[in-house]
Amino acid sequence: MTAPGTETETLLAVLAGQRRHVLGILEGLDDEALRKPVLPSGWSCLGLLRHLTLDVERFWFRAVFLGEPDVIASIDGLGDSWQVPADATAADVLDAYRAATRRADAVITAAAPDDPPAWWPAHLFDSDYRLHTLRELLLHVITETACHAGHLDAARELLDGRRWLVLT
């Protein structure tokens, strides 16, 4: 195990900023608004957050990077992670995301940027696509989280008009 170096600290800081954006844009929305589909595809803000929890934080750091057998085994049986179970509260989904990010941070800080993933889900990706290091996984997760933060920005504006960052 290595202590995080400057590169890891920088990548984690950027990822933390995107995660704060994701959680910040959802602040103040009640359960009804968090569950309301806002686009024709039918996803809700909670559904997107559940996707970030299971298909991004959990998948990339625990399944792909660590190769945790129980997480790998659960991938095909996960179903549609964008759908929030009726018995899951908004607090449950938010808490699961926060827990997944803390777990991912522990994985990241215990490794080096050049460390390779322990497992690769070749059955899920085109044969030409592969991430080779923790650095590449981090950059992928930063990009995906930022993209979804933008989706949440648009959803929030459609729900109640609030905007995250407005430069005039």
Task: Flag whether 165 is in a domain.
Answer: no
- Indicate the residue type of 163: R
| 74 found inside a domain | yes
Nearest by Cα to 28 from 144, 164, 146, 136? 164
Rounded distance between C-alpha atoms, residue 119 and residue 18, angstroms: 26
Q: Is the dihedral of CA 53, 58, 60, 61 positive or negative?
A: positive
The three-class DSSP label of residue 97 is: helix
| Res. 3 pLDDT band, cuts 50 70 90 | low
Domain count, the chain: 1
pTM of structure: 0.93
- 55 assigned to some structural domain: yes
**Each residue of 17-47: pLDDT tens digit?**
999 999 999 999 999 999 999 999 999 999 9
Confidence of residue 48 (pLDDT cuts 50, 70, 90): very high
Residue 167 counted as domain residue? no
CATH number where 14 lies: 1.20.120.450
Q: Which residue has the tokens 């704060």?
A: 20
| Domain contains 1 | no
> pLDDT tens digit string along 87-141?
999 999 999 999 999 999 999 999 999 999 999 999 888 888 999 999 999 999 9
User: What does the CA dihedral 68, 134, 131, 97 come to, rounded to 10 degrees?
Assistant: 60
- Domain assignment present for residue 77? The answer is yes
- What is the predicted pLDDT for the residue at 126? 86
Residue 129: give the domain boundaries. 6-160
